[in-house]
Structure 1
Amino acid sequence: MSTALSLFTRRDPFDDLMRSAFGPSAWPESVRTDFMPAAESHRDGDDVVVRLEVPGIDVANDVTVEVVQNRLVVRGERRDDRDEQTEGRSIREIRYGQFERTFTLPSHVGADAVSASYDKGVLSIRVAGVYAGTEPTRITIAEGPARNELE
């Protein structure tokens, strides 16, 4: 991933080890980490598009997208409205809970450059102009003795 937009992912290596050895139900429900949507980003011209998988979430009520200083912050919650006692689940692999994903923006990008849309379980966030003006500028090297401009 480019330095133009940084992605921070919360991971617990010990939790990964326990899951690989004993399966997804190795930890009691209270010890497991909350739901964390998968994310990806790609360049589209001068823009960056960030996509998060958030199926089953009411994005109108349970997701916020904000720019805080130079950070793009996506917060939300996948709610479990089912009653376990009446529905009788025997396994539980779907994760529920609150989440927060943070992406660092370049200093020249403000909130007005960010737009978001939701379709078929995927939240897409476009950050316009991330790569605008990032092409290198070649400096001409003059020949001859150097001039001291401070004199």
Structure 2
Amino acid sequence: MTDLMKWFDSRRSPLDAIERLFEGDMGSSAIRVEEMVDGNALVVRAELPGIDPEKDVDVTVADGVLSIKAQREEKKEHKDKGSYRSEFRYGSFVRRIPLPGGVQQADVTAAYKDGVLEVRAPMPDQAVEASASKIPITRG
């Protein structure tokens, strides 16, 4: 078993669910993610339909944690003879995912296609600490 696989299997604690609850990750409006190991990289896929990644999403790495922040603002209006209906949905969401030790922010990439944000964090040979920085998102 590789070091990445061992880290992936052992990183969750019983307190993770409580932390996600307070961060808003358990509700229906939370950012849903899928995490997997692909070769020597951690891949995080986040479900973000109907969001403009250039304006509404920030992906950052700081202190060994990947943060995905998104804002949603939707408004639908329906006007008919003698009636008017308006629906809106908005909110700000955050999802934080611990990264394996030594992941460098410069190596993390993010791409958005068909409502799914994919973030890839390759494992380095050596652990190196880095400061926080924004990860650019490309359209697929």
TM-score (norm 1): 0.59
The question of 1:88 aligning with 2:85 is answered yes
The residue aligned with 1:47 is: 41
Q: Which 4+ stretches in 1 moved above 6 angstroms?
A: none
What's the TM-score, normalizing by structure 2? 0.63
Contact 1:35 1:95 in 2 (8 A): no
Q: Greater strand share, 1 or 2?
A: 2
User: Which amino acid counterpart does residue 37 of structure 2 have in structure 1?
Assistant: R
Do the aligned partners of residues 57 and 87 (structure 1) sit closer, same or farther apart at CA in structure 2, a change above 3 Å counting? farther
Structure 1 residues 111 and 48: CA distance shift in structure 2, 3 A: same
Higher Rg of the two aligned structures: 1
Report the count of equivalent residues.
110
**Tell me, which stretches of 5 or more residues in structure 2 are unaligned?**
127-140
Q: Percent identity?
A: 31
Closer, same or farther: CA 95–81 of 1 in aligned 2, 3 Å: closer
CA RMSD of aligned residues (A): 3.4
Q: Where do 1:2-151 residues align within 5 Å?
A: 3-4=7-8, 10-11=20-21, 35-82=29-76, 88=85, 96-129=90-123
CA-to-aligned-CA distance 1:85-115 (integer Å, 9 cap, x gap): 98515xx7x9631100001112211101210
| 3-state DSSP of counterpart to 2:34 | strand
